[in-house]
Structure 1
Amino acid sequence: MVDNLNGVGEHVNRHVCYSGDVVFMYTHTGTHIDSLNHFGVDGQIYNGYRPEENLGSRTWTKGGAETIPPIITRGVLLDIAGLKNVDCLPDSYAITVADLEEALDKAGLALQAGDVPFVRTGRMRYWPDGTKTLGNPPGLSLDAARWLTTQNIAAIGADQECVEVGPSEHEDNWLPGHTHFLAEAGVPMVELLNLEELAKDGVQEFCLIAAPIRLRGASGAPMRPLAMALRKNA
C-alpha cells in the first residue's frame, strides 16, 4: 500500500475499492456496423481510394468507422420472415426485390431517401446458439441489394451476420452484397441486429438512433441501435 499519494495516507486508501477492465475484440463482433473501407472492388474502396496511397501501417486513412456520423433517421422493418409466416427463413434463402416490395406493401410503407431498412430473417430468435444463428444465412440477393440502394437509403441492416444471402450466388464474388453496398454505393451495413422485439410488437416504422464507436481507420465498430416506435402494425 502506498504510504502517501498526493497527501492521502494509507488510512484513507484502504477504504477505496476500484475495478477496471480491458477489452480485446474483433471490431465486427456482436451488433456492429461495417465501414466503407471494409470491402473494396477492383483494387479500390468507395470513392476510388486505393491502398497504395491510403492504407497505413495499421489502418486505412480513408473510410474508417470514425467517418460514420451518428444516425438519427427513420428506420423501416422489412419483416420477410413474418411475410412468409415462418419463424425463420430457410438457410440460404435469397430475398428478392418482390419480397421487399411485398413487405413494404403489407406494412403500408414506402422507402424514402435517408431511411435505414432493417431486414428480418428470424435468425436472431435462436441467439445465442451460434449453430443456428450463424452460417449459410438467408439474406438479400444482389438484385435486392441493388434495388435498395436505388431508394437512396442511408444504411442497411439485418439480423444475421452479413445482410446478404450466403453462400454467394455469384462465382466471381464471394460477397457481392458487401462490395455493392460498401464499395459501389457507399452504404454502411449493420449486422447481427436483434429485431425480434420489433417484430413481436408490430413496430414497422421507427425513429432510429445509433452511433458506432469512433475507432479511427477501423473497418467496423460495435454499435447499439435504439428504435422508438413511430407506428405499429394494426
Structure 2
Amino acid sequence: MKLTKIALLMAALSGQNVTAQQAQVADSPWGEDDELGQLNQMTAQKRIRLMATADWSRVFDLSVEYFIGMPSWQAAGDPTYQIWMTHTPKGSVVDNVLGQGEKINQHVSYTGSAVSMYTHSGTHIDALNHFGLNGEIYNHFSADKYLGDKGWTRTGAETIPPVIARGVMIDIAASKKVSMLPDDYRITANDIKQALEYQQVELMPGDVVLIRTGRMQVYENAQQYMQHAPGLGLDAARYLAEQAKAMIVGADNLSFEAFPSELEGNYVPLHTYFLAQHGIPIMELVNLESLAKAQVYEFAFIGSSLKLRGADAAPMRPIAVPLHSTGDK
C-alpha cells in the first residue's frame, strides 16, 4: 500500500527512511494541467534583463557533433547514430530519379542524406516524460491514459519552449586541479559548493546549471567516454533542486548521474528525482570545454530543442553568451 503524502512528510520529519518504492511523482505548483514544471520560472522580465547584460562579442557553442561511431546509449538496445546518402552527384546522373536527363544532372550536383538515432543522442534535453514512478510522470499524468502508439500526449518534447535564462557552468574538475574527474567519481553537494566558491559565483533560482566533469575531452573515443563516467550523486541533486532551485540541470557526460545507484529499488534515482519529483529537465552531452578554457562561468544560456511530438527527448543546439556583470540577472 502506498503511503500518502502526509505520511511521507511525517516519516521524513521523524527521521524514518522513505524507500524507493514509496517515492511518488510530484504535483505541479502551477496547476493540474501544467506540463512545463520548473521551466515556468522563465519570464519575459527575466529574459529582458538577461539579454541586456550579454556580451555578444563572444558566443560559445555548447553542442557536440553527430557522427557514425559517436558515444551513444546502447545498454538497453537503442540504435546508434547513422547517416547515409540518399542522393549523390554521380548517383543522380545514373539514376535520373527526377527525370532531368544526363546533361542537366551532370550540371546540377544533387546531394541528399538521411539520419536515424535514439532521441537521447548528442547534446539533448530530456522531457519530463522520460522517467516516472509507478506508471506516472510529473504532475500525475499516467502512461495508461496519456501514452499512445505515437508517443506521449503530455509533456512531450514539443512542449519544451525556447530556453533563455541565466546559465552557470560549475567546473568541478578545475576546482579540484585536475583536467578530468576520475572514473566513477560521484559529485557531492560539497563539491558543488567548493567549485562555486573557487569560481566566485553564486547560484540563483531559475538558473540553467551545467556541471563539467571534463569527460568531453575524450568524446571522440566512444568507449572511453561511456565507460565508468563520473556523475552527480543524490545529495548534489538535492542541493541543486531544493536549495539552489535550478530550472534545468545538465552535464558534459551521457550518464548524467554516477553509478551504481545509491538508492535500492531505483537504478536511475537522479533521473526520477529531477524529472518526476521536481519537474526539472535534464541536459546531457553538453560541451563545456570552450567555456572552461575561457573561464566563463556565468552567461546567457540560449537553446531550443527540436519539436518532436510525443518524444521523451530532443536534440538541442545551445549557445552561451558571457555576461558583462554578475548579480541578479
TM-score (norm 1): 0.91
Task: Write the distance in 2 (CA, Å) between the matches of 1:102 and 1:231.
Answer: 24
Q: Is 1:133 aligned with 2:209?
A: no
* Partner SS state of residue 143, structure 1: helix
Partners of 2:135 and 2:144 within 8 A in 1: no
Q: Are the aligned partners of 2:130 and 2:312 in contact in 1 as well (CA < 8 Å)? A: yes
Instruction: Report SS of the residue matched to 2:276.
Output: helix
Mean CA deviation greater in 64-73 or 11-20: 11-20
Query: Does the 8 A contact of 1:204 with 1:231 survive in 2?
Result: no
What's 1:38 paired with? Answer: 130
Q: 2:185 aligns with which of 93, 98, 115?
A: 93
Q: CA RMSD in A?
A: 2.0
C-alpha distance in 2, partners of 1:199/1:228?
14
C-alpha separation in 2, matches of 1:112 and 1:44: 30
Aligned residue runs from structure 1 range 163-178, under 5 A: 163-178=256-271
Which runs of 5 or more residues in structure 2 are unaligned?
Answer: 1-95
Q: Say whether residues 1:118 and 2:210 are aligned partners.
A: yes
* Residue identity matched to 1:78: I
Q: Counterpart in 2 of 1:148? A: 240
Match of 2:144, SS state, is helix
Map of 2:120 onto structure 1: 28
Dislocated runs of 4+, deviation >4 Å: 1-5, 9-14
What is residue 199 of structure 2 aligned with on the other side?
Answer: 107
For residues 3 and 220 of structure 1, do their structure 2 counterparts lie closer, same or farther at Cα, with a shift above 3 Å needed? closer
The 3 A distance-change label for structure 1 pair 107 and 3 is closer
Q: Deviations 1:185-216 (Å, cap 9, x if unpaired)? A: 11111101111111111111111111111100
Tell me how far 1:167 sits from its aligned partner. Answer: 2.2
Count of residue pairs the alignment pairs up: 229
Structure 1 segment 65-76 matched on structure 2, within 5 A: 65-76=157-168
Q: Secondary structure at 1:101's aligned position in 2?
A: helix
Give the stretch that moved more between structures: 77-86 or 163-172.
163-172
Paired residue type of 1:57:
D
Q: TM-score normalized by structure 2?
A: 0.66
Q: Percent identity?
A: 50
- Counterpart of 1:39, as a letter, is F
Find the counterpart in structure 1 of residue 23 from structure 2: none
AA partner of residue 53 (structure 1): K
Q: 1:55 and 2:141 equivalent?
A: no
What amino acid maps onto 2:147 in structure 1?
Answer: L
Partner Cα separation in structure 2 for residue 2 and residue 57 of structure 1: 34
CA distance in 1: counterparts of 2:208 and 2:128, whole angstroms = 16
